Structures are given as C-alpha cells and as structure tokens.
C-alpha cells in the first residue's frame, strides 16, 4: 500500500476518534520515513482559486502540512463549496499572480533517513557514505539509488 494511502487511512481513523497518542505515534513514524507532518491549528477558512472558480472551505475540521522529499503537501478535511469568480475577484487573482519567477531564499538539501541509507547500502553492497550520496542524487528514490550504485 503506498504511503499516501496509509496516511489517508490513518487520518480517517483520527477523524473517527482515535486517540491523540496514536496520532503522535503516526507522526513519529512518518518522521522516520523522511516526512514531517504538522497540524495547522485555528484555521477559519481555506480558499482555493482556479482560473474561473474558487473553492471555499469554511471552518475546516483539520488542516495538515506535510513536508515530503518532493515538496510541501497541504491536506484539508472539510466540506467545500465551489463558486464562480466574479469580475473584481478575477482581477484580484490576476494582480496577485507573480509576473516574474519568485526567488527562493533558502533551499533545503534532501537528507535521507538512516533506515534508507542502510537499506541501499545492504542491497547494493556499498558503504553507508556511497549509499547516502546515491540517495541524495536520486532524491530519495530507493530503487534508482540502488541501480546507480550497481551500475558503477
């Protein structure tokens, strides 16, 4: 079962009333897998703008931010309503859209979890340092890292 399906299943269990202790356990597990999950508290409203619509989620039940190898993922649990954008709102969205690329001040380098490093090292028969370099090069893709090392 893919990680996202496991996460979805665990969040569903949380919604159905599982204890905060099991939630903390799940978050620790995810941290070991290279995922950092944080619940965003006191969220009053979430608005998602598309080209011609907006989705409004008033008083979402749960908003979670997950930092994955590929980037940030926000998960919102709640009931949304889809609305067509009106003239002024369309202009506002266009005005807020950056015209030039936005510079990122700080880029975080991927740091593979020690479990992944050990696994790749064992599978490819190389040192932990070589396994770590291959994981960084493959951006955390275990199979790709092993293939890179076996082809050397």
Please tell me whether residues 70 and 125 are part of one structural domain: no
pLDDT score for 130: 92
Q: Looking at residue 70, which CATH number applies to its domain?
A: 2.20.70.30
- Residue that the structure tokens 């608005």 belong to: 47
Could you tell me the two tokens for 149?
A: 């090392």
Is 98 within the bounds of a domain?
no
Give residue 32's pLDDT band: very low, low, confident or very high (50, 70, 90). Answer: low
d(CA 135, CA 133): 5
pLDDT score for 104: 59
d(CA 41, CA 71): 21
What separation in angstroms does the CA of 44 have from each of 47, 72, 92, 120, 140? 10, 21, 21, 44, 35
Q: Which helix (H) or strand (E) holds 53?
A: strand 53-58
pLDDT score for 129: 93
Contact of 85 with 38, CB cutoff 8 Å: no
Please tell me whether residues 52 and 118 are part of one structural domain: no
Is 57 within the bounds of a domain?
yes
Could you tell me the two tokens for 32?
A: 């070991």
Q: Which residue has the higher pLDDT, 35 or 43?
A: 43
Domain range for residue 143? 114-150
Q: Which residue has the higher pLDDT, 88 or 147?
A: 147
Instruction: Count other Cβ atoms within 10 Å, centred on residue 139.
Output: 12
Tell me the average pLDDT across 55-61. Answer: 87
Q: Where are the beta strands (DSSP E) in 16-86?
A: 36-40, 45-49, 53-58, 62-68, 71-77, 80-84
Please tell me whether residues 87 and 20 are part of one structural domain: yes
d(CA 131, CA 128): 5
pTM of the prediction?
0.40
Is 64 within the bounds of a domain?
yes
Q: Looking at residue 118, which CATH number applies to its domain?
A: 1.10.8
For 37, counting Cβ atoms within 10 Å of its Cβ (0-12 exposed, 13-18 middle, 19+ buried), the class is buried
């Amino acid at each position: 079962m893919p990680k996202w399906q496991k996460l979805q299943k665990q969040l569903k269990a949380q919604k159905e009333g599982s204890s905060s202790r099991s939630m903390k356990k799940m978050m620790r597990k995810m941290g070991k897998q290279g995922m950092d999950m944080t619940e965003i508290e006191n969220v009053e409203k979430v608005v998602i703008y598309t080209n011609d619509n907006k989705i409004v989620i008033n008083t979402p039940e749960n908003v979670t931010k997950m930092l994955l190898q590929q980037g940030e993922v926000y998960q919102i649990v709640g009931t949304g309503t889809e609305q067509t954008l009106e003239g002024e709102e369309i202009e506002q969205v266009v005005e807020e859209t950056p015209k030039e690329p936005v510079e990122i001040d700080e880029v975080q380098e991927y740091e593979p979890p020690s479990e992944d490093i050990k696994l790749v090292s064992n599978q490819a028969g190389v040192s932990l340092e070589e396994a770590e370099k291959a994981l960084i090069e493959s951006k955390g893709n275990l199979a790709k890292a092993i293939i890179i090392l076996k082809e050397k």
